[in-house]
Each structure stands twice: as C-alpha cells, then as structure tokens.
Amino acid sequence: MRPGGAFSRGRNAGPVSTRKPVSTAVEMSAHKKVIRIEENITLSQMAQRLSLKSTELLMKLLSMGMTGVHINTSLDADTAKILASEFGWEVEDVARSEDQIIAAARGEEKVVREGEAADIVARAPVVTVMGHVDHGKTSLLDKIRKANVAGGEAGGITQHIGAYKVNTSHGMVVFLDTPGHEAFSQMRARGASVTDIVILVVAADDGVMPQTKEAVAHAKAAKVPIIVAVNKIDKPSAEPERVKRELAELGLQAEEWGGDTMFLHVSALSGEGIPALLDAVGLQSEMLELIANPKTAASGTVLEALLDRGRGPVARVLIQDGTLRVGDLVLAGAGFGKVRAMTNEHGKQVHEAGPSTPVEILGLSDVPNAGDQVHVVKDPKKAQEIAEQRKGKMAKSMVPATAKVSLEELSRRISESGQQELRVIIKGDVQGSVEALAEALSKLTCDKARLSIIHAGVGAITEGDVNLAVAARAIIIGFNQRPAGKAASLADENKIEIRAYSIIYNAVDEVRAAMEGLLPPTLQEKVLGHAEVRQLFKVKGQGIAGSFVLDGLVRRGGKARLLREGAVLWEGKMAALRRFKDDAKEVLEGFECGISLDGYSDLKEKDVIEAYEIEEIKQKL
Ligand code: GDP
C-alpha cells in the first residue's frame, strides 16, 4: 500500500508523506493545465501527473535553490504551485475538511437516528483535580483511589491509565489522575473538553495562591463547575474560613454565604471528609444531567499516549459517548487501527467500554497526542486517509516554522549564506519530549549558526530517518530512542551522526556548545613509534637503554610505555633521549639512541618502548 523506498517513514510522522492522494484527476481545459492535489504531494507523484520525469522536477527545484529534496519528498501545496507554474500548470488544492471526512468515515451522514432518545442514559461525571502546588492534589487523588481499591476490586492494584472510576453513593465518578491545570489547559488547547467538574484543592493553612487563581480562571473559561476541597483540615494552623473569604473574592461564594459553590473540609492525609466530597461530586453531577448513548459508535478523547517497545502505540482513552469494543476500527489523532486489546484501570482485559470509561487500547498504527479525539469508524480506507493527513499536519506543526523546507525558506537561507546551519532530525519516545526538545533546540539559532529541525517524530530511529538525514545533510538526535534495524550501520556508512540523549537539558547544552564551536574535544591516543632496547648501560649512575627506533619516532619528554613480550609493564614519560652524547628532541625510525624512562630503570634487552601522544579531537555535531 505504501510506496516504500528509501524514504518510507514506517509508522512515524514525517515531512515525507507516502500517502496516496485520493484525487488523481488531471483536467485539461483549453488554455490551462490544472492538477488537483490534497494538501501535499510527493515529487514523484507530481512528476507522474505532469507527465514529466522526476529528475526534471528535481533539477528545477534545485535550480530554485531548494536543497535536500528527493523524489519522495512531500511538497506542500504552496511549493507544488510554484513548481507547477514553472511548467505551465496550475495546482488546485482540494483538501477536504477533516470533519467532512470523519463524518463519511463513520458512515453516519444521518445525524438523528430513529428511536435514539430511548437509548440515552445518564453517564458518570469526569472530574479534574486542580489547585496550587503542594496543596494536596496528588495526595487527594491517591487517597480516593486507594479507598476505592479497598472497596473491593479484585487484584486491588490500580494501574495508571490516565483516569479511574470510583463508586460513590451517587453513582460512579471518573477521576482524571493527572492533577493540575496544565493537563487541563493542554486538553483545552487541543480543543478537547473532557472535564465535567473541577475539584479545586486549597490548603487550609495556606489559602488562595497564584495557581489557585489560575485554576479558577481555567475552570471558569471552560464553564466547568467548581467544588472546593479545603484540604489539610487536620492541621492546627488550618483556617478554612480564610479560604472561603479569599475565594469569595474570586467569585466563588460558599452556599452557606448565599452562593452556589460547595465547600468541603477534607484531609487527604487522614481521609476525613472525602466521602462527603465524593457525595458532593455526585450531587453536582446530577444537577448537570450528563447523558450519553451507549448504543452509538464510540467517541472519546486521548488522555495520554506512548510508544511501548513491546506493545506498540498505547493510547489511554476516555470513552465519552457510545461503546468501544475490541475489534472496532478506531481513529485517534494520527493513529488508526483495529482495537487489539483493551484494559481497565485494574489492568484487567475488557471487551467493551461504555460512556465515561477510561481504557487503555492497543492496536493503533501511530501514537496520538493527549487531547486528540477518538472515533470509531467504519471505512478503513478513509480512516487511513485521515490518519495520514493528520500525520502530515502534525509533522509540520511539531517542526517549528523556521524549519520548513520550502522555497521561501531556501531563498532566505541563500541570502543569509555565510552563516552555518545545523540541521537536525529528532526522534523521541513520547510526543511531549519531542515537542519540548524541538522547541528548545529551535531557540538556539544564533549569529554564528542557524538550527533547522527538518523532522521530529515519535519512535525509533529508522533507516528512513537516516536516509532523510543523508539527503538533508542533517544529524539525528535520539531522545530515549536508539537506532532500529539497520539504521545504525546505514548511518555509519553514510557518516551520519546519531547522538543519544535522555535529558533534554543535556541535548540542548551540547547542541548549543557545538553551535558556538565549544563542544569539548574528545581525547584520542596516537602512537608515534617504537624503539627496541638493544643494550643497557649506565652514564653517571643513570641507567640508559641503548635502543633502535623500529618505526615512526620517539620523542623526549613525550608519553611512553614499556612493553615486554607484548605486555605493558610501565607507563609514563620519556625522561631523556640522546643521539651519541647529545640530547635529542626526536629520533626517527632506523636510528639508534639512548633512552631513559622517568621513574623506571628495570629495563631488559628486547623490551620495546612505545612512544605516543594524546590528540585532542574536536567533536563533530
Ligand atoms: P500537590 O502538589 O498539590 O499534588 O500536593 P501533594 O499531594 O504532593 O501534597 C503536598 C504535601 O502536603 C505533601 O507533603 C503531603 O503529605 C501534604 N498533605 C497533603 N494533604 C494533606 C493533608 O490533608 N494534611 C496534611 N497535614 N498534609 C497534607
């Protein structure tokens, strides 16, 4: 299905798309020659449609100043337009909106189904815990989870799958187990809304702090109701009334003060007040009248996703509507595939997951992002099409704008010639670190050198990455990722440097140092030559080894080691070197000389003195 070849990207997103465009229509009208493409097209596909040779297009691009191109390079619509115009063609971008495609892929053009109202049920609320650092968010989540486990789930251990369900007297409640407003706002930034209720944790001994205010702002912006958990009530220094007062100033009026915000006194340490807090959540949820239809095709949101070495892409998903079943075909961000296995928060295999259920799913082709929508779809071809399209977009957005390989970029590069450029390909284990590293590295551009990220993606370093590096003359940075398969040997053959890091700071530091020409040199030993001891004698009480230089040279004051029958007996400095009666600086191959070693006199005939030096080699990056 994939065109493959040296630039095939495997399952990883890349600037090189192997997607087969759907529309291959070539229209010829009287005067205009038009080709239609969807967002992007590979150079070879374009050549085919223009009835030209790929090399002709390649030459044209190169003559326009674009470097690092290859026949499988994916051209964006803008570049394609410029290129096509050079040959008298016009490009029409016929990208369909993603919503249209999803609707078609779901096979659900019809929105309202007969009898659907009867299928509607109440669903469990989804709760996010927010608040200032150290006010007890994690402790509270832990306490709630543990109390729930004691409540009887077989096995008892809860696995981290991004969320868990808790039974309360008002029914089930789902807790997202990444506390803090960052996760919340990150989701919102991706257009996802998973939270129905926010529990705002405020330490009774500390009161409203900056992040408390932020949390309130986030929840209000998302129009999500807030329940206040006044925590650490067990502390003697607790001042719950102060918390109430300070929050009132932020517009959260306690019920007993005539407002509509529930305040609960809790201790995440002792567990006091937690059942009441859960009841409050249940009550709030009843007021929200949350509903879902378990009979419809499932949809939800990715809470977390990662690439597992053994299991492949793993997505922790919150099902928000419908029911997801093993075997369903799902689309999640840039990933799609049949759900191979599903596990709940207790690590148990499950076959289906209804509304407001967190599950971990296996079987996706690619690692989606947190906040990505998940949909069950019917049409595998369309699902793949959407996934590939998203992958292309993602690759573009992950690579900072400055890294775009376009004609525009090229001309700028040319006008800025003289400046060094370091091109980088980043491969990492999770989306978050790849983004963070790309972001940090892209800021390193300085007067002396520009840094361009030509590709950034999740997954192992593949042969495709190495090929891309060869074409673009880039180095590869692996963040918690190593070369897979033949990638390492291919890189070796092509002298492509692969650097491995597991700490972003270190990667940034070293790249910066390299760009400033300050990368610490590595030390390498270089053997200068060998001399064989032929005769031992003494001059003024000092032992001298009458020697013959076998190869290379020996140097006075230089580093030396003594070898006897191949074994190293001693290492140190050559103290004195003489030719006849005079001191000599160096004695070359084929000459005799007298050598004395610094601090070693137990020499024997046939011993070999090896002279060497330590060379500083500037590291390449
Ligand atoms: P987070 O940063 O909001 O997640 O806060 P943590 O849950 O890490 O808690 C910060 C500190 O407060 C930890 O040392 C907890 O043991 C402590 N802590 C949390 N809740 C309580 C509580 O109810 N009472 C007391 N005394 N200490 C608490």
Over residues 539-580, the pLDDT tens digits come to 777 788 999 999 999 999 999 999 888 788 888 999 899 988
Q: Which helix (H) or strand (E) holds 485?
A: none
**Number of domains composing the chain:** 5
Of 129, 130, 133, 134, the residue with max ligand 1 atoms within 8 A of its CB, to mutate for a pocket test, comes to: 134
Q: Which helix (H) or strand (E) holds 284?
A: helix 274-288
Q: From the CA of 433, how far away is ligand 1's center (Å)?
A: 28
d(CA 407, CA 302) in angstroms, rounded, equals 36
Name which of 213-227, 272-286, 456-470 the model is least confident about. 456-470
Over residues 115-154, the pLDDT tens digits come to 566 788 889 999 999 998 899 998 999 888 877 654 444 4
Same domain, 157 and 275: yes
**Mean confidence (pLDDT) of the chain:** 79
**Residues above pLDDT 90, as percent of the chain:** 30
538 Cβ partners below 8 Å, 6+ apart?
Answer: 544
Same domain, 244 and 340: no
**Amino acid at residue number 350:** V
604: in domain: yes
Same domain, 459 and 388: no
CATH number at residue 497: 3.40.50.10050
26: in domain: no
pTM of the predicted model, to two decimals? 0.54
Same domain, 504 and 413: yes
- Residues facing residue 614 across a β-bridge: 525
pLDDT at 180 (0 to 100): 65
Of 130, 137, 139, the residue with max ligand 1 atoms within 8 A of its CB, to mutate for a pocket test, comes to: 139
Q: Which among 260, 289, 318 is the end of a domain?
A: 289
480 touches 502 (CB < 8 A): yes
Over residues 325-375, the pLDDT tens digits come to 999 999 998 888 999 999 998 888 999 999 999 999 999 988 888 888 899
Q: From the CA of 216, how far away is ligand 1's center (Å)?
A: 20
Q: From the CA of 501, how far away is ligand 1's center (Å)?
A: 33
**Residues above pLDDT 70, as percent of the chain:** 78
Q: From the CA of 559, how far away is ligand 1's center (Å)?
A: 60
Same domain, 414 and 434: yes
pLDDT at 325 (0 to 100): 96
118 Cβ partners below 8 Å, 6+ apart?
Answer: none
Q: Which among 448, 483, 518 is the end of a domain?
A: 518
**Amino acid at residue number 376:** V
d(CA 368, CA 187) in angstroms, rounded, equals 13
CATH number at residue 536: 2.40.30.10
397 Cβ partners below 8 Å, 6+ apart?
Answer: none
pLDDT at 360 (0 to 100): 95
Same domain, 531 and 504: no
d(CA 157, CA 168) in angstroms, rounded, equals 19
62: in domain: yes
Q: What is the mean pLDDT of the segment spanning 438-464?
A: 79
pLDDT at 19 (0 to 100): 36
119 touches 294 (CB < 8 A): yes
Closest residue (by CA) to atom 10 of ligand 1? 134
Same domain, 199 and 327: no
Same domain, 513 and 527: no
Same domain, 565 and 587: yes
What is the DSSP track for 194-218?
--SEEEEEEETTT-S-HHHHHHHHH
pLDDT at 592 over 60: yes
Same domain, 208 and 152: yes
pLDDT at 6 (0 to 100): 34
Q: From the CA of 139, how far away is ligand 1's center (Å)?
A: 6
CATH number at residue 70: 1.10.10
Pocket of ligand 1 (CB under 6 A): 131, 133-139, 179, 231-232, 234-235, 267-269
Q: What is the radius of gyration, based on Cα positions, of the chain? A: 34
- Residues facing residue 262 across a β-bridge: 227
Q: Which among 242, 265, 289 is the end of a domain?
A: 289
pLDDT at 2 (0 to 100): 35
15: in domain: no
Scanning 359-503, the segments in alpha helix (DSSP H) are: 380-398, 407-415, 431-442, 463-472, 487-493
| The token pair that represents 442 in the structure block | 């892209």
Task: Please state the separation of Cα 31 from the chain's center in Å.
Answer: 48
In sign, the C-alpha dihedral spanning 77, 82, 87, 90 is: positive
Q: From the CA of 178, how far away is ligand 1's center (Å)?
A: 15
Long-range contacts of 516-523 (CB under 8 A, 24+ apart): 516/446, 516/448, 516/449, 517/448, 519/618, 519/619, 519/621, 520/619, 521/616, 521/617, 521/618, 521/619, 522/616, 522/617, 522/619, 523/614, 523/615, 523/616, 523/617
Strands 324-325 and 582-583: unpaired
5: in domain: no
Closest residue (by CA) to atom 14 of ligand 1? 134
Over residues 170-182, the pLDDT tens digits come to 788 999 887 666 6
Over residues 486-530, the pLDDT tens digits come to 888 888 888 788 888 888 888 888 888 776 654 555 677 888 999
141 CA: nearest ligand 1 atom: 7
Same domain, 276 and 130: yes
Domain, as residue range, for 570: 522-617
Q: Which has the closest alpha carbon to 403: 429, 431, 432, 426?
A: 426
- The 3-state DSSP class for residue 243 equals helix
Same domain, 157 and 214: yes
478: in domain: yes
100: in domain: no
119: in domain: no
